[in-house]
Amino acid sequence: MLKIYERLWQVNWAEQWQYRANLLMYLLYDLVSPVVYLAVWITIANSQGSVDGLTANDFITYYLTLLIVDQLTNEITIHILAYKIQDGTLSSELLRPVHPILTSSLVYNLASKVLSFIVLLPVWLVLCLLFRPDYSSVSLGSFLLTLPAVLLGFAIAFLLGAAITCLAFWTTRVYAISDFYSGLVLIFSGQFVPLQLMPPFIQDVARFLPFQMFRYVPIQIVLNKLPPNQILQDFAIGIAWFVVALLLFRLTWREGIKRFSAVGA
């Protein structure tokens, strides 16, 4: 089994390495909007000292960490698989003795992450020089505790993304559904603004949704901003969502594959 993953890795890596120049361009998409919001909040924080107790440095460390966490937990399964379901080319992957999503797509996601980081790191260092963050609140313990949070965040994101991709078995409008889903992620994950600045109602909802595990919780853990009992609660909710996401994915995949008739292939 490990051999299969190793081989898949080599294939995916070689395939994506050809597009490394494109990668730099695509990375721009992920960079621009956090930098814009960072500039907006710095302006406000500087004009009145702080925003709800958050200083300019709090915003700088939040958004710069966001850039890293975002790359670690995001997933692109719908872009590599939905069209294969729609045009029927999925059938060639179904003939292989490995799971099309849990192996090929997963490895594709991981390979693209590693490549993104090769491009992101130098850009990130330049941004650090420009914004000069003070990362003194990060400790070894908070760093180590972030690793399982990021892993859990990616696992949930990947499984939910895969479940949505499987809706392509039923509807051709799966991209509209995915658009709607990314809107939810944007609001409830803390991508736009640290969740504690959101209206209380949205904060309460966000606490029980899986999305805060994608960005907000890992960022706040590494920056040492959450009390231990809050971290415990967030992990518990995250693990519950992991189980839900796993069940959702298994259900959509099993029922979807029954309907699959490989149109056009």
Tell whether residue 192 is a contact of another protein (CB under 8 A). Answer: yes
**Residue of 47, 140, 229, 259 interacting with another protein (CB under 8 A):** 47
How far is the C-alpha of 221 from the C-alpha of 144, rounded, in Å?
10
Tell whether residue 52 is a contact of another protein (CB under 8 A). Answer: yes
Question: Least Å distance between CB 33 and another protein?
Answer: 5
Q: Find the part of the chain contacting another protein (CB under 8 A) among 2-10, 103-111, 150-158, 176-184.
A: 176-184
Angle at the Cα of 223 (from 245 to 147), degrees rounded to 5? 45
Question: Least Å distance between CB 74 and another protein?
Answer: 16
How far is the C-alpha of 162 from the C-alpha of 252, rounded, in Å?
9
The percent helix, strand, coil of the chain (3-state, each to 5) is 80, 0, 20
Q: Give 46 or 233: the residue with its C-beta nearer to another protein.
A: 46
What are 265's two structure tokens?
């292939």
Q: Give 25 or 243: the residue with its C-beta nearer to another protein.
A: 25
CA distances from 116 to 88, 122, 258 (A): 29, 11, 36
How far is the C-alpha of 193 from the C-alpha of 74, rounded, in Å?
17
In the block, residue with structure tokens 């415990």: 232
Tell whether residue 200 is a contact of another protein (CB under 8 A). Answer: no
Q: Give 43 or 139: the residue with its C-beta nearer to another protein.
A: 43
Interface residues with another protein (CB under 8 A)?
21-22, 25-26, 28-29, 31-33, 35-36, 39-40, 43-44, 47-48, 51-52, 130-131, 173, 176, 179-180, 183, 186-187, 192-193, 197-199
